[in-house]
Amino acid sequence: MIGKYLKIFRVSLTERLTYRADFFLATFLRFLPMITTILLWQAIYVGSGQDELNGYSYRMMIAYLLVIHISRMFSSMPGLAAGIARDIRDGNLKKYLLQPIDMHAYLLAYRGAHKVAYITTAALPYALLFYLCRGFFDGLPEPMVLAGYIASLLMSFLLGFFVEVCVGMVGFWTLEVTSVMYVVGAINYFVSGQMFPLDLLPEPWADVLKLLPFQYLAYFPAAVFVGRISGWELVHGLIAQAAWTVFFIGLARILYQAGLRRYSAFGG
């Protein structure tokens, strides 16, 4: 059973590596907004007249926003929910029903290959970026913290994948999921900590947002790397992230089975 999905992964990886030049160029273009971000936060700190904002120095803030790019590299799943909804609407979903292939496992293998191809291609540009911005960092975290950071990144991939799968499953109940995707995407951008660290929000909003799963898509891994989360707080965070990941895996399976009872397989 696992062997066929490994073959799907291998074939998909070969396919995605064909577009490595596109990945390389897109990575460089993503760096351009960082110049504006650095200048913006520099102006914020100068204007505030403070060396720290809620425990974040200017150096730590820029380091956090740089590491957010790595978090999103793992957890973002562009086009996944839309592709699932389109397959449901057009009748192409039946290819998973007629062949001995589980849809979730197939998409996971395919998306995993995409991530490996992208991360491999983007490694050099990101290495150059972090080298040029090395003054914002205090070096690598301690080995145990670094291991926790890597674990959080891997789980953010799974969590991001199954959150998007759940959004795509809405297509079983409605013909168009674009509005749902827009709302989820807009909320995710804010509450996951992509815009700024959740710690900057006043109480109780910071604590409330940290109870949601979205923080594990961006904020949590980045906060671990820059040293905001460590020790038992890191352990508890990893356990909570694993629990949310298992929850969305189960929810995706439940929605799929419930949706299939409504599915009529027209089109295709």
pLDDT of the residue at 265: 63
Q: What is the mean pLDDT of the chain?
A: 86
User: Beta 56-57 vs 52-53: how paired, if at all?
Assistant: antiparallel
- Minimal CA–CA distance to 87: which of 109, 112, 106, 114? 106
Q: Would you say 256 and 166 are in contact if contact means Cβ atoms under 8 Å apart?
A: no
Does the structure show a pLDDT above 90 at 29? Answer: no
Instruction: Provide the 10 A C-beta neighbour count for residue 182.
Output: 10
In the chain, where are the structural domains located?
Answer: 2-260
Q: Would you say 55 and 157 are in contact if contact means Cβ atoms under 8 Å apart?
A: no
For residue 240 the two structure tokens come to 């909570």
Q: How confident is the model at residue 216 (pLDDT cuts 50, 70, 90)?
A: very high
